[in-house]
């Protein structure tokens, strides 16, 4: 494990290593035990796409690991504009010990990893969101005690979150059902990769346009915003298209009685999910948000301590 670009690039053993270390670091943090695993090391955090959770969780996490987080906004770095990604990767590799990047183009992350000599962590691209999904898997594991054999239903836009959920669930042996309207399906290459991984783990990948079919017998129900950053011009059309995919009390009741609800946030109550579900007793959204930090700490510790 040299980088974290895609969950599909991880083995099951590597995923389990991340989850076990996340559990340990979370317990130590709660008990006030210092774990300065990355003392003296610096993480460069490149943001061409802004975020609350990604910046705070990586910055605080790196601080708790004893290292230094260096924030680099689109104004601070000329990634792929005034300077080539090759040059940026080469130069940053001489200064810092790891790079986290949250950006639009997935190819930017791949090129940074290809041309640099330090570990690269994908904090989000338009195609994938691996750190989020590893945090989701950790959250489910905490509350259910297992992952293999469970069913996760994702309802809504077949976006970067849905793509990485396909990879993650298939790798760990969870069944996954994705309900998305026609024209908003997940990436075809990622679907094929997930189906291949599911064969090895013994899980199922179910793709449908029917949210009721997807959510039936689900142990975990997941949704995401209908209008992501950069899609504001499509807002009116997207709301009209996705309205039948709203996770409300009636739809949620089709899942298993002890099903839990996840949402990567930010959430728009009354659109993709109703208040009775997202603020209800089965919602784990704030555990999920907290676990971003613990899981990312595990990822940084593994990658930057080699």
Two tokens, residue 178: 């994705």
Classified as helix, coil or strand, 46 is strand
Residue 264: active-site member:
yes
Q: Give the C-alpha separation, 113 to 203, whole Å.
A: 31
Q: Give the C-alpha separation, 1 to 298, whole Å.
A: 13
Q: Give the C-alpha separation, 42 to 52, whole Å.
A: 20
What residues pair up with 99 in beta bridges, in sequence order? 44, 120
Place of tokens 């974290």: 4
Residue 132: active-site member:
yes
What residues pair up with 176 in beta bridges, in sequence order? 152, 205
Consecutive 10-residue runs of the chain (306 residues): their mean pLDDT?
Answer: 96 98 98 97 95 95 98 82 88 97 96 97 98 98 98 98 98 98 97 98 98 98 89 88 98 98 96 98 98 98 94
The DSSP secondary-structure symbol of 249 reads: H
Residue 53: active-site member:
no
In the chain, ranges of CATH 3.40.50.1370 domains: 7-129+289-304, 132-286
Residue 224: active-site member:
yes
pLDDT at 228: 78
Active-site residue, from 131, 169, 186, 264: 264
Active-site residue, from 55, 238, 292, 294: 292
At the topology level of CATH, where does 132-286 sit?
Rossmann fold (3.40.50)
Residue 282: active-site member:
no
Active-site residue, from 102, 106, 238, 263: 102
Q: Give the C-alpha separation, 41 to 46, whole Å.
A: 16
Taking the CA atoms of 77, 83, 84 and 87 in sequence, report the sign of the dihedral they define. negative
Active-site residue, from 157, 169, 224, 296: 224
Domain 7-129+289-304 of CATH type 3.40.50.1370: yes
Two tokens, residue 268: 């728009």
pLDDT at 80: 59
Active-site residue, from 3, 106, 129, 238: 129
* Phi, psi for 164 (deg, rounded to 5): -75, -30
Residue 55: active-site member:
no
| Other CB atoms within 10 Å distance of the CB of residue 284 | 19
The DSSP secondary-structure symbol of 185 reads: P
Distances (CA, A) of 164 to 42, 176, 271, 274: 27, 11, 22, 24
pTM over 0.75: yes
Active-site residue, from 3, 108, 132, 167: 132
Residue 228 CA from chain centroid, whole number? 14
């Amino acid at each position: 494990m040299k980088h974290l670009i895609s969950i599909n690039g991880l083995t099951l053993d590597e995923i389990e290593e991340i989850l076990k270390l996340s559990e340990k670091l979370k317990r130590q943090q709660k008990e006030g035990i210092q774990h300065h695993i990355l003392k003296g090391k610096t993480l460069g955090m490149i943001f061409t796409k802004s975020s609350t959770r990604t910046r705070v969780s990586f910055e605080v996490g790196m601080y708790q690991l004893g290292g230094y987080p260096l924030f680099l906004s689109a104004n601070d770095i000329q990634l792929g504009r005034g300077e080539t990604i090759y040059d940026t990767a080469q130069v940053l590799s001489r200064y810092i010990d790891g790079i986290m990047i949250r950006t639009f183009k997935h190819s930017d992350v791949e090129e940074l990893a290809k041309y640099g000599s330090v570990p690269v962590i994908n904090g989000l691209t338009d195609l994938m969101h691996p750190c989020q999904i590893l945090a989701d898997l950790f959250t489910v594991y905490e509350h259910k005690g297992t992952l293999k054999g469970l069913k996760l239903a994702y309802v809504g836009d077949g976006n970067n979150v849905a793509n990485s959920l396909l990879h993650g669930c298939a790798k760990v042996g969870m069944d996954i059902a994705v309900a998305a309207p026609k024209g908003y399906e997940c990436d075809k290459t990622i679907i094929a990769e997930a189906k291949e991984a599911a064969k090895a783990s013994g899980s199922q990948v179910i793709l449908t346009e029917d949210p009721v079919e997807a959510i039936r017998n689900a142990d975990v129900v997941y949704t995401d915003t209908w209008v992501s950053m950069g899609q504001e011009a499509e807002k009116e059309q997207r709301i009209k298209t996705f309205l039948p995919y709203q996770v409300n009390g009636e739809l949620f009741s089709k899942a298993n009685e002890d099903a839990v609800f996840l949402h990567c946030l930010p959430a728009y109550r009354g659109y993709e999910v109703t208040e009775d579900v997202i603020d209800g007793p089965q919602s784990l959204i704030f555990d999920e948000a907290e676990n971003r930090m613990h899981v990312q700490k595990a990822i940084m510790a593994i990658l930057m301590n080699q």
